[in-house]
Structure 1
Amino acid sequence: MEVILKQDIHTLGYKNDIVTVKNGYGRNYLIPNGIAILATESAKKMHAENMRQSAHKEEKIKNEALELAKKLEKVTISLGAKTSTTGKIFGSVNNIQIAEALTEKGFEIDRKVISIKDAVKEIGKYSATIKLHKEVKVDIEFEVVSE
């Protein structure tokens, strides 16, 4: 079953993408919850026309994301965490703490677009990926220090 997404879904696709899903998932979850619409021929034609009209706006949003990515590449974050004597962190550092640190630096980044490659369980330098746009990703470096 083909559907047109009305909003971004992390594991499936982005808004206005035409994706193929299993019939039950589309019929029982996506369409009733207003997340997607059925991709009929008329819906595809309307979708194509809307995409043509919104191409200019999309380019502007992408350029803004690229500018923000250039600024974020220069940012270094230092996060404090409670640690044991061996340097292991009690708990772990996650995307919420990185989002809060970026907010303190003046960048409003949603925590849902931040992903950390490896689990952060010890003091050291790590990398996180921020997905600003479907075509724009930026890696930022952060350091975990003992409080």
Structure 2
Amino acid sequence: MKLILTHEVSGLGEPGDVVEVKAGYGRNYLLPRNYAILWTRGAAKQVESIKKARNARAIHDLDDATALKQRLEASVVKVPARTGDGGRLFGAITVSDIASALEGLGSTVDKRRIEIGNPIKSVGDYAVSVRVHPDVTAKVKIQVVEAA
């Protein structure tokens, strides 16, 4: 199945890339979540506009990316959350929560570039990775604290 990615998919590609995937993966995962659209000649013309939008959001310079990586790794991001007994959270910390906490530090990071290894469901210290640039990945320290 030939698809055009509209969002970044780990291990597959970035927006605007034309990829060939198995029919089940495309039909059951990529298409329902709007991560991709079917490739047609008409849709192929949209690839340029998708790539232009991606380039506008991307950090182009490797030096800027490494500077952002150093800034992110130097700070500890505090994420407040509602908790119950024993420090367990009501729900889990999402990438949107982390992205909004990073904005509080003055670093704007797209939530699709944040990767959480295991679900964060209790108070404590965690590490998440942020793909700042295709060649640069930052390990950010997250501290989940009880909301006041």
Q: What TM-score does the superposition give when structure 1 sets the normalisation length?
A: 0.68
Whole-Å separation in 1 of the counterparts to 2:59 and 2:83:
45
Alignment of 1:52-131 (within 5 A): 61-131=61-131
Cα deviations by residue, 1:34-79 (Å, 9 ceiling, x for unpaired): 3659xxxxxxxxxxxxxxxxxxxx9952221111111111011111
Identity percentage of aligned residues: 24
Report how far residue 111 of structure 1 moved.
0.8
Change (3 A) 1:8 1:93: closer
Q: Decide whether the 8 Å contact of 1:69 with 1:137 is kept in 2.
A: yes
Does residue 30 of structure 1 match 2:39? Answer: yes
Change (3 A) 1:68 1:80: same
RMSD: 3.2
Whole-Å separation in 2 of the counterparts to 1:108 and 1:2:
33
Whole-Å separation in 2 of the counterparts to 1:20 and 1:125:
37
Q: Decide whether the 8 Å contact of 1:14 with 1:134 is kept in 2.
A: no
The DSSP-based 3-state class of the residue aligned with 1:33 is: helix
Cα deviations by residue, 1:106-130 (Å, 9 ceiling, x for unpaired): 0111111111111011111111110
Residue-pair matches, total: 123
The DSSP-based 3-state class of the residue aligned with 1:126 is: strand
Gap runs ≥5 in structure 2: 27-36, 49-57
The DSSP-based 3-state class of the residue aligned with 1:109 is: coil
Gap runs ≥5 in structure 1: 38-57
Whole-Å separation in 1 of the counterparts to 2:107 and 2:59:
21
Q: What TM-score does the superposition give when structure 2 sets the normalisation length?
A: 0.67
The DSSP-based 3-state class of the residue aligned with 1:112 is: helix
| Paired residue type of 1:138 | A
Q: In structure 1, what is the equivalent of residue 8 of structure 2? A: 9
The DSSP-based 3-state class of the residue aligned with 1:137 is: strand
Q: Decide whether the 8 Å contact of 2:5 with 2:13 is kept in 1.
A: no
Change (3 A) 1:36 1:105: same
| Paired residue type of 2:39 | L
Rg (Cα) greater in structure:
1
